Structure 1
Amino acid sequence: MPELIFPLDSKRKFTDQAKIGHNRWHPAIPPVAWVKPGDSFRVHCREWFDGAIHNDDSAEDVRDAPLKTVHALSGPFAVEGAEPGDLLVVDILDLGPIPQEDSGPLAGQGWGYTGIFPTKNGGGFLTEQFPDAYKAIWDFSGQIATSRHIPAVSFTGIAHPGLMGTAPSAALLSKWNARESALIATDPQRVPPLALPPEPQDAILGAVSPSEFDQIAGEAARTAPPRENGGNQDIKNLTRGSRVFYPVYVSGANLSVGDLHFSQGDGEITFCGAIEMGGFIDLRVDVIKEGMQTYRVGENAIFMPGRTDPQYSEWLAFSGVSVTLNGEQRYLDSQLAYQRACLHAIDYLTAFGYSPEQAYLLLGAAPIEGRLSGVVDIPNSCATVYLPTAIFDFDVRPGASGPFRVPQGTSAPHAGFD
């Protein structure tokens, strides 16, 4: 086993550990450990809400989830010799749920969760159709996930880190804050908001000194969106065997990782669409000197996907085009086209007895494939969502005998606002 350089005690909060991570991006957050090029090491990760979501049959925890606290990131880890302009090479050697216990109160201890976030607290890809909070708990058996809240399905997860990235430079951080502030200003009262500005409340900044804390907390970027440094990309194929090439913006690169997922569908469409868990990840790092210029990787990571995806061979695919539910034509709007494809898949699954919310949760958690299938044929782009048929305990394909009916009486926990 690689050396454990960031341990987490499952009985203690994220902020009450021997080494404390962070939940904001800022170049002044000190590294918690140094590694050398060629080193392999293990990191423990807490699920993104640090235990705020529970293994129960209520969705009130999702409705009231403390978004200002996320993400609980492990790191930063500085790499000796890495300098701005280099490429940081990160190999994902292994990862999985919390290994210390088989069951317990934290996601990753034999279970994980998927949530539909309410519009008033983050929303999701289909928030106009699903404005309330819902939750599904998934139980782990090896690599297989099943849920008491979504009957008659089981699938092999594609474990991956939802979030991994390098620290921004001061100039890059300033660019993020300026452009996102300008976007918010176009519609400052929008719910959910157009972007998340710096928020000092609930900021976790590792070993930042008390004298600097307030200034850094007021500048530090939230970790919710992906940006040029990688970050919260939620790419389900960044699994075992993946190699990622990250731009380096600060000395040491300052790599951080977290938001582990047991499984996820392309797009993580419910916002908390993956099966969230805490666990461990084993990494190996190296440095390509001046790699950003050499390979023209000025921003955003490039990667080689792992080779351990579940081997599904049969799919039922749904398509959508860029026309709104009200019949308004949009010009090559691929985001809208993917929304319509997902809604078509949800409608289809309700024919088998699933509620729309159960179907939506399933599309977020199961290893569906999302694709931009046509982006040039004006005025309609076409997007598709591929649903693996083998995840169902019944034949999900259309047939002359009509749809199978899943067992009734099971529902996904729901919580609305008063």
Structure 2
Amino acid sequence: MHFDPLQPGAGAIRSQHYLPATGRNVLWGRLPCASDEAVLEVESGDEVTIDTLSHEGILEDQGRDPLRYFAGHGVDRHHVLDDAIAIAASDYPRDRAADGPHVVTGPIRVRGAKPGDLLKMTLVEALPRVPYGVISNRHSKGALPGEYPASLGTVSVFSSVDEDPDGRRVGVLPVTPGGPNVVRFPLAPFLGIMGVAVSGDTRPHSVPPGAHGGNIDINLLTAGNSLYLPVQVAGALAYVGDPHFAQGDGEVALTAMEASLRVTVRFELLSQADALRQFGALVGPLAETREFLVPTGMSLDLDEAVQHCVRAAISLLGARYGMEPHLAYAYLSAATDFNISQVVDIVKGVHARIRVADFAGVPPR
């Protein structure tokens, strides 16, 4: 399948605010902190169309030359993004040993945001910028670091985009290298990184997620769904990155189908009073879809991440519906799935899917 790439400034741009992934609009390997200056300022309720860049194809272990790298997979120059070429060729001061791989776009200041508020980030639209992606497994990374990759080098698997008989876009992977048989899987574009700046003047590493959000890799956050984040600094200083075309819960190989997106995100503020009334005292990210409330838990230890998520879910049900803790605990055991968001980002993530329909007869507090 081929379609025209969404080069910087070209093609569909949904909102009046547009932020390309060029120049001072990006950080590479680090996330914003309180001392960073915003590259855009918006009002609560505004939508911003943002270009995001995948790190796959621009990293050093892939040659830091996306033109050459993607040409090796049969991609012509027309379908390689100009902003990817530019950042790979730049002298951006990224320390390969100390910094993460991700390119993030932002930060965006939301007028009036202050610590104690919640910032709601809704993915309004997610448009693929290219018709391909990459899935990588790197040495001593992933769920099976002692087993894969079998060699010392990076294994990066190229995945093309095609259409199924119903016209839906799918990812395509070979069953054997160079063989005729392929596996096809549905695409569900989302942002692996959505976050707010941390306090202080030290930019966090881009890989481990936390209370600030960041690299949470929750694949439910597709178009139409939202993430709530506790604001840590004045203006929130929000950012996005780590675009995916698809990801399974766990993201076991290290990356999923990583590929650049043009997204439109709506930014809305909830005051501290409204936030407490709707969700209780959130200490970390909370996702929301049409079907589910999705509290999260994170820790270096997966067992502890599950425990944090269960506690967050009990607290949420108490704050929103007045549910007694022992009854919430019982309900969660009987009716709620706890999913592994990812196990590959140093800090492991777990999220719960609480069905909103189950509480149709219970008025929110």
Q: TM-score range by the shorter chain?
A: 0.5 to 0.7
Q: TM-score, normalised by structure 2?
A: 0.60
Which is further off, 295-304 or 240-249? Answer: 295-304
Alignment of 1:284-323 (within 5 A): 284-290=266-272, 291-294=274-277, 295-305=279-289
State the 1:117 CA deviation.
1.1
Task: Output the CA distance in 2 between the equivalents of 1:79 and 1:334.
Answer: 33
Given candidates 217, 222, 226, the residue that maps to 1:234 is 217
Q: Deviations over 1:88-137 (max 9, x none)?
A: 11111111221xxxxxxxxxx21100011111xxx111112214432211
What secondary structure does 1:165 align onto?
strand
Letter in 2 for 1:146: V
The reply on whether 1:48 has 2:40 as its aligned counterpart is no
State the 1:141 CA deviation.
2.5
Given candidates 249, 253, 269, the residue that maps to 1:270 is 253
Task: Output the CA distance in 1 between the equivalents of 2:240 and 2:195.
Answer: 7
Letter in 2 for 1:113: V
Task: Output the CA distance in 2 between the equivalents of 1:300 and 1:334.
Answer: 15
Letter in 1 for 2:35: A
Letter in 2 for 1:281: V
Given candidates 115, 122, 126, the residue that maps to 1:91 is 122
Q: Do the aligned residues in 1 keep the contact of 2:126 with 2:223 (CA within 8 Å)?
A: yes
Task: Output the CA distance in 1 between the equivalents of 2:191 and 2:339.
Answer: 21
Given candidates 32, 38, 42, the residue that maps to 2:39 is 32
Letter in 2 for 1:24: R
Q: Deviations over 1:193-229 (max 9, x none)?
A: xxxxxxxxxxxxxxxxxxxxxxx5xx32201011111
State the 1:147 CA deviation.
2.2
State the 1:251 CA deviation.
0.6
Q: Do the aligned residues in 1 keep the contact of 2:30 with 2:100 (CA within 8 Å)?
A: no
The reply on whether 1:140 has 2:158 as its aligned counterpart is no
Alignment of 1:49-68 (within 5 A): 49=56, 51-52=58-59, 53=62, 54-55=69-70, 56=72, 66=96, 68=99
What secondary structure does 2:171 align onto?
strand
Alignment of 1:110-125 (within 5 A): 110-119=131-140, 123-125=141-143
Letter in 2 for 1:305: T
Alignment of 1:331-410 (within 5 A): 371=339
Alignment RMSD: 2.9
Q: Where does structure 2 lack aligned partners over 5 or more consecutive residues?
A: 1-13, 63-68, 74-94, 164-168, 292-301, 306-336, 341-365
Residue 256 of structure 1: aligned partner: 239
The reply on whether 1:130 has 2:130 as its aligned counterpart is no
Letter in 1 for 2:148: F
Q: Do the aligned residues in 1 keep the contact of 2:17 with 2:47 (CA within 8 Å)?
A: no
Alignment of 1:137-176 (within 5 A): 137-141=158-162, 143-148=169-174, 151-170=181-200
State the identity as a percent: 25
Aligned pair count reads 242
Residue 263 of structure 2: aligned partner: 281
Q: Deviations over 1:134-170 (max 9, x none)?
A: 2211111252111246543101111110111111112
The reply on whether 1:73 has 2:79 as its aligned counterpart is no
What secondary structure does 2:184 align onto?
strand
Task: Output the CA distance in 1 between the equivalents of 2:303 and 2:196.
Answer: 31
Task: Output the CA distance in 1 between the equivalents of 2:110 and 2:339.
Answer: 36
Q: Do the aligned residues in 2 keep the contact of 1:164 with 1:230 (CA within 8 Å)?
A: yes
Larger Rg computed on CA atoms: 1
Task: Output the CA distance in 2 between the equivalents of 1:255 and 1:27.
Answer: 11
Task: Output the CA distance in 2 between the equivalents of 1:165 and 1:44.
Answer: 16
What secondary structure does 1:270 align onto?
coil
Residue 179 of structure 1: aligned partner: none
Residue 340 of structure 1: aligned partner: none
Residue 19 of structure 1: aligned partner: 25
Query: Relative contact order (alpha carbons < 8 A, sep ≥ 6): 1 or 2 greater?
Result: 1
State the 1:71 CA deviation.
1.5
Task: Output the CA distance in 2 between the equivalents of 1:141 and 1:149.
Answer: 16
The reply on whether 1:6 has 2:19 as its aligned counterpart is yes
Q: Do the aligned residues in 1 keep the contact of 2:26 with 2:103 (CA within 8 Å)?
A: no
Q: Deviations over 1:345-367 (max 9, x none)?
A: xxxxxxxxxxxxxxxxxxxxxxx
